[in-house]
């Protein structure tokens, strides 16, 4: 421990702490912009590029960035001198002098840390207005929009993309006034190895990186009398949507969300959880089929089977692990399964052609926007899912429609694509997909009901973890990773034979799984919020009367009336897909 003095107060902190850490221990708030502490994943962005956090250190001629300056024994620090305040104000004025003035229409308005900082310093005029401003080409992908005119070179997105996710899309290029964070050769994101996970947008302090907004397309569809508009909502959304209306993180708003969607004018309000149960029917069946053939001596079977629900993860392995394209499950994600069933089975029940139906999905994930645009998920050019919007976009729609969300009564989802089990709702958190699959696979394999459906060994927040589950004479070896950096480390170890062989591995691209998705309400680096959302999903699971996917009566009926059996001919056509080798650049 070392002792130092900050603003006349003494504090002891562990050796290796920064001045910013020491100030936080005293409850002294030093403003920051580029700094981001992702302690839950063991990473801190402290490039000290913005200089908003400068302080005076006794004996030092220049001002020191608090986020990157080590605290040392006996140090005396001042955080509020005139020199410090003037330097921070000057830095902000210079940042704003090269920043667009479209705050009223910016997607990050109200969530912009630069905007918040300008208000904190009461900046009402700028001494550096009128000079040349840097301009960059706008980049529009199906999931993300890049407006580098708004970039403050904090490099948070670069740290997230390269260090946490290890995708390696973004880096600083050029020098001086033309410097920018961009993909290689300043190519568009669509031409890069970007997975569209959206974690860069989740940590961007300004409007430089935001989701592609499709909310007006939803409004246009709702206003079209010729269209039947169906909505599905993912499990993680119900545990985070309330934050946009002032509720505590982890508050479940399932019933109010269903009521709000009806109030918006959707013709049918369904639940992606139904499709999550359907996914388990196919994915668990595929797992059991592969495992049985492997145990019977089939040398051609590829194990471990990898989950395929996360589109960012799917694109990641298509780019990064092309030699393993036959390892993941061929089951589509719940979003795409729902779209395929809605535009076949449900459209037939309504007696309408698929072209008359518009399927909208509410997702915690920005990669879902990209996923529904993939050409293999369409029939004669008509996509299975027409529009995917984020949790944030849904909140904007509700506010735009002047719906008093907090006073809405709780309502249920519609039938027949709204019934779900507890196994489906935990799809929204890391470990949930594989736990749901195990609940069904074990019962099918042993032909005995489970004593307990809570496989707590599969739960947790460690980046990579494993569990061994006894099933009769066999011990299932399960691997789990969340965050693409952890996925890379686990798969490389599997590829090199450095770990005991797994039977199945679940991977989610975002830290915490879908609850930490790039389309969720901004958590500003506080991953405790993500953990509270996960806890909420386990609570909903515990409260469900049915907690195993294969016991969902509407799923049973769907197979009886339409699909036949898991892995059957109809199921294979509608519910399974294939993968593509993509470039590594």
Q: Catalytic residue positions?
A: 283, 286, 309, 329, 368, 371, 376, 514
Tokens of 522: 């901004």
Separation of alpha carbons 164 and 463, rounded Å = 10
Cis peptide before 551 (omega within 30 of 0): no
Of 541, 538, 537, 515, nearest to 526 by C-alpha is 515
Distance between CA atoms of residues 505 and 328, nearest Å: 9
Give CA–CA dist 248/242, Å, rounded.
7
What does the longest C-alpha to C-alpha distance in the chain come to? Answer: 81
Tell me: cis bond preceding 304? Omega within 30 of 0 counts: yes
Token reading at 425: 């709702």
Cβ atoms of 429 and 534 within 8 Å: the answer is yes
Two structure tokens written together for 363: 């997702």
Cα separation, 390 vs 364, in Å, equals 5
Rg of the chain over Cα atoms, rounded to whole angstroms, equals 25
- 565 and 559 in contact (C-beta within 8 Å)? yes
CA distance 564 to 571: 8
Rounded to whole angstroms, what are the CA distances from 77 to 103, 120, 247, 297? Answer: 35, 22, 38, 69
| Coil vs helix vs strand at 60 | coil
Nearest CA to 438 out of 454, 451, 462, 425 is that of 454
């Amino acid at each position: 421990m070392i002792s130092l003095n900050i603003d006349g107060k003494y504090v002891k902190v562990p050796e290796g702490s920064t001045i910013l850490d020491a100030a936080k221990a005293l409850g002294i708030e030093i403003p920051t912009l580029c700094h981001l502490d992702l302690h839950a994943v063991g990473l801190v962005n402290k490039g000290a590029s913005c200089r908003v956090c400068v302080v005076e250190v006794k004996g030092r001629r220049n001002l020191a960035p608090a986020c990157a300056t080590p605290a040392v024994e006996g140090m005396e620090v001042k955080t509020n001198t005139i020199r410090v305040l003037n330097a921070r104000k000057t830095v902000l004025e210079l940042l704003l002098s090269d920043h667009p003035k479209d705050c009223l229409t910016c997607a990050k308005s109200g969530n912009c840390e630069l905007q918040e900082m300008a208000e904190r310093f009461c900046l009402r005029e700028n001494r550096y207005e009128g000079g040349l401003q840097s301009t960059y080409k706008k980049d529009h992908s199906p999931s993300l929009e890049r407006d580098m005119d708004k970039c403050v070179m904090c490099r948070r997105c670069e740290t997230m993309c390269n260090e946490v996710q290890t995708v390696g899309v973004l880096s600083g290029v050029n020098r001086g006034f033309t410097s920018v964070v961009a993909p290689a050769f300043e190519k568009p994101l669509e031409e890069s190895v970007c997975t569209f996970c959206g974690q860069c947008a989740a940590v961007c302090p300004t409007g430089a990186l935001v989701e592609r907004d499709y909310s007006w397309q939803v409004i246009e569809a709702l206003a079209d009398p010729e269209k039947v508009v169906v909505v599905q909502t993912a499990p993680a959304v119900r545990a985070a949507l309330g934050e946009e209306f002032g509720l505590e993180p982890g508050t479940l708003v399932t019933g109010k969300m269903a009521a709000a969607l009806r109030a918006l004018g959707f013709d049918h309000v369904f639940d992606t959880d139904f499709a999550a149960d359907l996914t388990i029917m196919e994915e668990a069946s595929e797992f059991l089929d592969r495992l049985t053939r492997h145990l019977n001596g089939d040398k051609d079977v590829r194990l471990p089977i990898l989950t395929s629900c996360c589109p960012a993860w799917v694109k990641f392995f298509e780019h990064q692990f092309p030699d393993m394209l036959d390892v993941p499950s061929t089951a589509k994600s719940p979003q795409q399964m729902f779209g395929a069933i809605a535009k076949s089975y449900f459209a037939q029940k309504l007696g309408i052609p698929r072209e008359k139906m518009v399927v909208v999905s509410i997702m915690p994930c920005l990669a879902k926007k990209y996923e529904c645009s993939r050409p293999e998920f369409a029939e004669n050019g008509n996509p299975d899912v027409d529009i995917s919007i984020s949790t944030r976009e849904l909140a904007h729609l509700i506010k735009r429609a002047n719906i008093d969300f907090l006073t809405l009564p709780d309502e249920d989802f519609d039938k027949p694509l709204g019934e779900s089990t507890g196994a489906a709702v935990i799809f929204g958190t890391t470990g949930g997909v594989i736990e749901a699959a195990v609940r069904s696979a074990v019962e099918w394999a042993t032909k005995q009901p489970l004593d307990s459906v809570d496989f707590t060994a599969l739960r947790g927040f460690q980046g990579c973890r494993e569990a061994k589950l006894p099933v009769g004479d066999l011990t299932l070896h399960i691997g789990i990773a969340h965050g693409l950096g952890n996925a890379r480390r686990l798969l490389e170890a599997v590829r090199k034979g450095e770990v005991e062989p797994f039977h199945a591995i679940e991977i989610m691209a975002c830290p915490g799984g879908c609850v930490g998705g790039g389309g969720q309400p901004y958590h500003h680096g506080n991953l405790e919020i993500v953990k509270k959302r996960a806890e909420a999903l386990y609570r909903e699971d515990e409260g469900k009367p049915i907690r195993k996917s294969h016991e969902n009566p509407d799923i049973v009926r769907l197979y009886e009336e339409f699909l036949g059996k898991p892995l059957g001919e109809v199921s294979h056509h509608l519910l399974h897909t294939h993968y593509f080798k993509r470039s590594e650049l």
